[in-house]
Amino acid sequence: MENQTENTNVTSENQQQFEPLHKSFCRECGTMISEKADICPNCGATQHRAKVIDDTPSAGLKVLSFFIPLVGLILFVVQSKDTPISAKEYGKWALIGFCTGIVLSIVWYFVVLASVSSMFKAFSF
Ligand SMILES: [Zn+2]
């Protein structure tokens, strides 16, 4: 029974050692504090860290921008300040979608024209 208690203690000690993986230092006094801490527990200084913005364009929004270029254009305008890389990507896909739309409508126009004219040919004898 005593051995089991000891084992549990060792395990919890090991876990504690693995916990402080993400540590940073206080800007004022240099004390090691948690990366997520906003205020230093030692001196009380506010930790002004550069806000890390995830500027990775989302695949879903790229697809949306492609199929609905207007959405891509809005995303481009709205996000160009905070996430310029993503905004540029959405704008690019909106442009590709827009051009594809034009090409498709031209193709569609000729397909309709061809089928209408062949229909007229079929009935005009
Ligand atoms: Zn401090």
> How many angstroms separate the alpha carbon of residue 42 from the centre of ligand 1?
5
5/44 same-domain check: yes
How much distance in Å is there from the Cα of 72 to the middle of ligand 1? 44
Q: What is the pLDDT of residues 10-65, one digit of tens each?
A: 444 444 444 445 778 888 899 988 888 888 999 998 887 656 678 999 999 999 99
CA 73 from centre of chain: 17
Give the other-Cβ count within 10 Å of 48's Cβ: 8
pLDDT at residue 94, rounded to an integer: 97
Residue 18: which domain range? 1-49
Domain count, the chain: 2
**pTM for this predicted structure:** 0.52
Q: How far is CA 103 from CA 33, 70, 89, 92, in A?
A: 58, 17, 21, 16
**Whether the Cβ atoms of residue 110 and residue 85 lie closer than 8 Å to each other:** no
Q: 119 and 63 in one domain? A: yes
For residue 33, report the distance from its CA to the centre of ligand 1, in Å: 8
Cα torsion 110, 115, 119, 122: sign: positive
Decide if 54 is inside a domain.
Answer: no
Q: What is the pLDDT of residue 95?
A: 97
β strands within the chain, DSSP E: 23-25, 32-34
Question: Is residue 20 a part of any domain in this protein?
Answer: yes
